[in-house]
Structure 1
Amino acid sequence: MKKYSMAIPLLLLSVLWGAPFVSATELDPVIVTATRTPRAPANTLAPVTVLTRLDIEKAQTDNVPELLAGLPGIDVTQNGGPGTTANVYMRGTNSGHVLVLVNGRKMGSATLGTFPWENLPVSQIERIEIVRGPRSALYGSEAIGGVVQIFTRERLEGLNVDMELGSGSWDSRRAAFAVSGGGKNTNASFTLAHYQTHGYNVKQYSNASSALNDSDDDGHRNLSLSLKLGHTFANGLLVEGDFFRARTRSEFDATSTLATSDNTESVQQSLGLKATGAPSERWKLTVTGGLSRDDSRNFTLKDLDDIFNTHRRSASIQNDFRITTGHTFTLGADYLEEQISGTSAYDVSERYDRALFTQYQGSYGRTDWVAGLRAGENEQFGDHLTGNLEFGHRLSGGMRILAGYGTAFKAPTFNDLYYPATAYGAGNPDLQPEESKSWEVGLENRGNDFDWSARAFHTRIKGLIDWTPSANNPWFWTPTNVGRALIRGVEIEANTTIGRFDLGGAFTWMDPENETDRTLLARRARTTFKGSLGYRFARIPAHLTGTLLLQSARYNDAKNEHRVPGYGIVNLAATYDISDAWEARLVANNLFDRRYKTAMATATPYDAPGRYVFLSLIWRYSR
């Protein structure tokens, strides 16, 4: 089957090449992840957060987990500073319940079942779309908590050049170069970025013995590049290609006396081709194909390196039919192959997943709705059916009442299913997918001077995969579908501008309960608040933004024996336009140098970054 996965989209592309198409119409800013079709933010029924390039630049961070922390419904933990393992939890679900796409393609490890957030370079990101709630009806496995789609730097017409140099705490340095340009029909972009830091000792305040506590600083470096190319043919067919690659090397503190200079090296890479055309005014056809890889090598002692590689091939066909104004019917098919390799010999090292999906978006008067259904076939566990239904009704004064229901699932990872047997454990090939049912209700007011939204959500997950000790041997662990979870919560967000002040805030409360033993799910804070205050100066071309992040305590373990205290930090970012071409930026994260942590290694805390100051200079040219 493998040799046909990429042939399907290439065959369709050859058919599209010679067909006449209706030229696409230029659209206002839209969101595509919520429905797999362009939709204006004010008309999107799903709870969505969008971070634009401007938002990313204002945040002035090199760390994607820092960028996401405190957003509505999102909780982030990290084992220290830049380059250390980070986990993103959405609406209280597991970190593996968040589907991550880069330019439309699934990324991450098929053995761990998570995405390496710490290795994603901020300099390469144009936009991030975050959709909260179940999305398996559109995307399949993993989208229980939601979907995060990352778009690399975009193509622009003309000639546009950005260059950045910066330096800061921990001997940190950043250099980035981005260029884009072309004409109306053909344009391209290229971005090259490098970031490195000497770091700090992430267990500097630990009480662990010296044998378990590496005393050195934990450095990190990342070299990345991205490329996009697009051409619109005379018949209206748009063909786009993109490439992304990031190579990272990070040091970490081990919890074993065997490890003396632990570090890990990883590569994330993605290559894609996309063709979009409109055979008629009411029919839009999109064909995509892509390759992605996630390679990881953990260095401990010279002869004990661990290598885990994930390679994926994907293809997709999507038809969007505009029946009448306000009514769109989507019909499509997805195909995905996953293959793993490395130092461990798995009994099964590859699998495929294929699916048909359909969606209907409708509007009548003040009422909008979206209904979706997906029928998938997985090589390991067979058929799976998921669906979603969303509803919105506009009230007087611009307010809108919202409601939604959806089912979702997560397929077991290769580690869960086939991890090679050792003296301490083994995978379980009889595992079934984790399954969820979710509903939510909400009220919002968008598009006015004061934007606000409030939503309540409820998610029940069954068949959670837990690694538990054998009844006959407490030292031998295997995974089983024994866990159940009930997650209830509320998200509130608001944004407004008053004169020269920009104000924003997001509050999340949730009760992530493990129904098996009535404990709280590990590493999830029950309460999070993030507030921001920005000011644009009148007499000088400068902007100042302060951010406050507050989180309540959480438990590091499933038994709730190791408590991680809550914390509050303040970040400050400033920009100054030296001239039309030059800009200076200064950021001070954790301004008051608060000592805190978000994760632990058993009972040993990973210290979060202290005060971090970074100064950068940017040069821009455009014509």
Structure 2
Amino acid sequence: MLFALSVLALAASAHAQTKLDTVVTTATRAPQKLADVLSDMTVLTRDDIERQAVGSVADLLRRQVGFEMVRNGGAGTNTSLFVRGADTRHTAVLIDGVRVDSQASSGASWNAIPLAQIERIEIVRGPASALYGSDAIGGVVQIFTRKGEGKPVVDLGIGGGNRGLVKADASVSGRTGIVDYALSAAAESSNGFNARPAPATPTFTPDDDGYQSRNASLRLGVQLAAEHRLEVSAVTSHVDADYDSSATAKTDDRSISDTRATRLAWAAQWSSDVRSELSVGESSERYETQPSPYMTKTRVRTYGFNTSWNLGAAGTLQGLLERREDRLDNSGLVAAAQPGHGERHQNAIGAGWTWASGRLSLQVNARHDRDSEFGGVSTGSVAGGYRLGSGWRLQASAGTSFRAPSLYQRFSDSGKPDLRPEKGRNAELGLHYAAGGDEFSITTYRNLVRDLIVYVSKPAGAPAGPCLSTFGCYDNVSQGRLQGLSLRGATTLGTVRLSGTLDLQAPKDVDKASVNYGKLLARRAEQHGTVRAETDIGSWTLGAQVLASSQRIDNLSTGNRLGGYALLDLDAQLAMSRQLSLQFKVENAADRKYETARTYATSPRQVFVGLRFTPQL
């Protein structure tokens, strides 16, 4: 299977020739054509999201090059995404420019990010702390909700499937005078499946672990003048999911997540060469389990000002001022100045320069973050590209990154007052090709992450030591070397559009003092990839995709392994009219049983049939 993936990846990238003209912002924090980006970047459009039909943002991203997913059961349960082998907390996640990050579990809560509200996703692989500060060791995922343009548009969707799956969504968007608007809402529920099956966990009561979710978004813009735009956006999501926490519990355990993100921004074009944006944003997450009495609340507030100057032949300069405020309410924060409550802030200043002349292009960024807890960290990056001709371009980059300790890692009974930020140092080289409908890229990278924060257990009876807990402490005791080779490509053979990805990686522990020295990091596969084929037959669009992964180590201490797997997904869309379409989707069509976390089942075959109606107003 992996041989087939490599052959396809070398043959051609996505059905994305029109995407190369797409204007993106994540790679430089300023508008730029995708074809000119010097990062390893992917853009997912609304058409890509519609093809997904069911599942979550994590299910969509796991099919992209460089991504792996780990989930403790079905949708709605704890979900992690590894980018290029980096931990889930090492990916910076933004929704409409608002940072989303849990200061309790570390990293974004992927299971709580709504898919139905999304218009576009921009993915940057590789360190980006020189642009985004803390978290961006493995990459950046920026999610954009729908935006109103032109005459009013209504979009309605409804569908269902096996195991009690029901979903519905509705949106309206458009522009009236100087005001553009987009409002959408969605709901979904499923009876789920047994996430802790026998014989792996024979002591657990077999039951289906279902979920319910509802979410909504609003994006409102006002064009105050030709040069000035005011915009407000808001997203809210509620997920109520069953899970199995104890073999002795006879009642359903539930995890309840409420996630919100709001932002107010003012964009101004002061002249043909000078633009700026002033913004304030806030995200919050409330996570609760029942009947076990656990609750944690995170709030991340950001203030930002960035500006850019077009210097003509000398390139473009950018400046950035940013403030981030983190707050965590959690009963476990026993070492905080105010028990149960922790706060900190980071102030940052950054600058960037982009330049292009003829075949050569350059990008340089630098940033300094000063944290109220651990002090200052400086990061930087430099990237260059050279067009070889006939659609080929060679790219190279190097950069540094960091992730600040979470408030829970700092102030819980397992925290330490002298925890240092995790720091990364990355270098990569890529070759890209794009011509007509064909696209191909190959990227090799090496990211050394030092001062990794891990939980270190203590032997029974050992003294408390530097933290209050007698069980263990968080400490900077490990180093990881994340290196690998990523390929993606696409082409058209006759009427069939083919695309594929392949990742060959070796994310290892390289701390010579560690008992795990030289071992692969847990739950990372050395090979994983996808193959997709799609064609149009009359009014039908038919697609099939295979997602494959090699075996992984579940736990370095026990050496338990997770087997490799290959999953087949099938999808079809029928354009019944210009306004009405019928969707079919079968995930895991072969009903393959596999695990991404030991003793936790993953979704069996899921069938979905839906209708999408876009009436003309």
- Name the TM-score, length of structure 1 as normaliser: 0.91
Within-5 A mapping of 1:527-538: 527-537=527-537
Residue 50 of structure 2 is aligned to residue 50 of structure 1 = no
Q: Which amino acid aligns with 1:281?
A: S
Supply the distance in 2 between the matched residues of 1:459 and 1:412 (Cα, whole angstroms).
19
Give deviations 1:192-213, integer Å, cap 9, x for gaps: 1001111010122443232xx2
Deviation at 1:418, TM superposition (A): 0.6
Partner of 1:220: 211
Give deviations 1:249-279, integer Å, cap 9, x for gaps: 0111114535742111111101111111111
Q: Secondary structure at the residue paired with 2:206?
A: coil
Supply the distance in 1 between the matched residues of 2:152 and 2:484 (Cα, whole angstroms).
47
Within-5 A mapping of 1:574-613: 574-600=572-598, 605-613=599-607
Q: Does structure 2 conserve the Cα–Cα contact (< 8 Å) formed by 1:135 and 1:147?
A: yes
Q: Does structure 2 conserve the Cα–Cα contact (< 8 Å) formed by 1:158 and 1:622?
A: no
Within-5 A mapping of 1:531-550: 531-537=531-537, 540-550=538-548
Deviation at 1:115, TM superposition (A): 1.2
Give deviations 1:17-44, integer Å, cap 9, x for gaps: xxxxxxxxxx962111111011111110
Supply the distance in 1 between the matched residues of 2:277 and 2:435 (Cα, whole angstroms).
30
Q: Secondary structure at the residue paired with 2:49?
A: helix
Q: Secondary structure at the residue paired with 2:54?
A: coil
Q: Which amino acid aligns with 2:601?
A: D
Within-5 A mapping of 1:10-409: 29-183=22-176, 185-210=178-203, 213-234=204-225, 236-255=227-246, 257=248, 260-301=251-292, 305-325=293-313, 327-346=315-334, 347-348=336-337, 349-409=342-402
Partner of 1:486: 481
Deviation at 1:185, TM superposition (A): 2.5
Q: Secondary structure at the residue paired with 1:158?
A: coil
Supply the distance in 2 between the matched residues of 1:199 and 1:564 (Cα, whole angstroms).
22
Deviation at 1:85, TM superposition (A): 1.2
CA RMSD of aligned residues (A): 1.6
Q: Does structure 1 conserve the Cα–Cα contact (< 8 Å) formed by 2:54 and 2:608?
A: no
Supply the distance in 2 between the matched residues of 1:486 and 1:350 (Cα, whole angstroms).
31
Q: Does structure 1 conserve the Cα–Cα contact (< 8 Å) formed by 2:101 and 2:300?
A: no
Distance 1:326 1:618, change over 3 A: farther
Supply the distance in 1 between the matched residues of 2:584 and 2:310 (Cα, whole angstroms).
48
Q: Which amino acid aligns with 2:312?
A: T
Q: Does structure 2 conserve the Cα–Cα contact (< 8 Å) formed by 1:404 and 1:441?
A: yes
* Aligned structure 1 segments of 4 or more residues deviating by more than 6 angstroms: none
Distance 1:470 1:125, change over 3 A: same
Partner of 2:13: none
Supply the distance in 2 between the matched residues of 1:288 and 1:214 (Cα, whole angstroms).
50
Q: Which amino acid aligns with 2:169?
A: A
Supply the distance in 1 between the matched residues of 2:461 and 2:75 (Cα, whole angstroms).
39
Partner of 2:518: 518
Supply the distance in 1 between the matched residues of 2:250 and 2:90 (Cα, whole angstroms).
31
Supply the distance in 2 between the matched residues of 1:598 and 1:525 (Cα, whole angstroms).
10
Q: Secondary structure at the residue paired with 1:96?
A: helix
Paired residue for 1:450, among 418, 438, 442?
Answer: 438
Q: Which amino acid aligns with 1:230?
A: G
Q: Does structure 2 conserve the Cα–Cα contact (< 8 Å) formed by 1:242 and 1:271?
A: yes
Q: Does structure 1 conserve the Cα–Cα contact (< 8 Å) formed by 2:262 and 2:283?
A: yes
- Where relative contact order (Cα < 8 A, 6+ residues apart) is larger, the structure is 2
Deviation at 1:342, TM superposition (A): 3.6
Q: Secondary structure at the residue paired with 2:39?
A: coil
Q: Does structure 2 conserve the Cα–Cα contact (< 8 Å) formed by 1:42 and 1:447?
A: no
Q: Does structure 1 conserve the Cα–Cα contact (< 8 Å) formed by 2:420 and 2:476?
A: yes
Residue 430 of structure 2 is aligned to residue 427 of structure 1 = no
Partner of 1:476: 471
Deviation at 1:108, TM superposition (A): 2.5
Deviation at 1:184, TM superposition (A): 5.3
Q: Secondary structure at the residue paired with 2:225?
A: coil
Q: Does structure 2 conserve the Cα–Cα contact (< 8 Å) formed by 1:237 and 1:277?
A: yes
Q: Secondary structure at the residue paired with 2:390?
A: helix
Q: Does structure 2 conserve the Cα–Cα contact (< 8 Å) formed by 1:61 and 1:67?
A: no
Distance 1:147 1:259, change over 3 A: farther
Paired residue for 2:501, among 489, 500, 506?
Answer: 506
Q: Which amino acid aligns with 1:320?
A: S
Partner of 2:16: none
- Structure 2: runs of 5 or more not aligned: 1-19, 463-469, 512-516
Q: Give percent identity, aligned residues only.
A: 29
Deviation at 1:472, TM superposition (A): 7.4
Q: Which amino acid aligns with 1:222?
A: S
Deviation at 1:143, TM superposition (A): 0.3
Residue 614 of structure 2 is aligned to residue 620 of structure 1 = yes
Partner of 2:562: 564
Supply the distance in 1 between the matched residues of 2:436 and 2:596 (Cα, whole angstroms).
36
Supply the distance in 2 between the matched residues of 1:429 and 1:610 (Cα, whole angstroms).
45
Supply the distance in 2 between the matched residues of 1:60 and 1:113 (Cα, whole angstroms).
29
Give deviations 1:551-582, integer Å, cap 9, x for gaps: 00011113361100000010000000111211
- Structure 1: runs of 5 or more not aligned: 1-26
Q: Which amino acid aligns with 2:431?
A: L
- Name the TM-score, length of structure 2 as normaliser: 0.92
Deviation at 1:498, TM superposition (A): 3.2
Deviation at 1:165, TM superposition (A): 0.9
Q: Which amino acid aligns with 1:154?
A: K
Deviation at 1:414, TM superposition (A): 1.3
Q: Which amino acid aligns with 1:411?
A: A
Q: Secondary structure at the residue paired with 2:32?
A: coil
Aligned residues: 581
Bigger mean CA deviation after superposition, 252-261 or 499-508: 252-261
Bigger mean CA deviation after superposition, 369-378 or 152-161: 152-161
Supply the distance in 1 between the matched residues of 2:314 and 2:613 (Cα, whole angstroms).
44
Supply the distance in 1 between the matched residues of 2:227 and 2:21 (Cα, whole angstroms).
19
Supply the distance in 1 between the matched residues of 2:358 and 2:343 (Cα, whole angstroms).
49
Supply the distance in 1 between the matched residues of 2:34 and 2:491 (Cα, whole angstroms).
16
Distance 1:28 1:460, change over 3 A: closer
Q: Does structure 1 conserve the Cα–Cα contact (< 8 Å) formed by 2:205 and 2:247?
A: no
Q: Which amino acid aligns with 1:597?
A: E
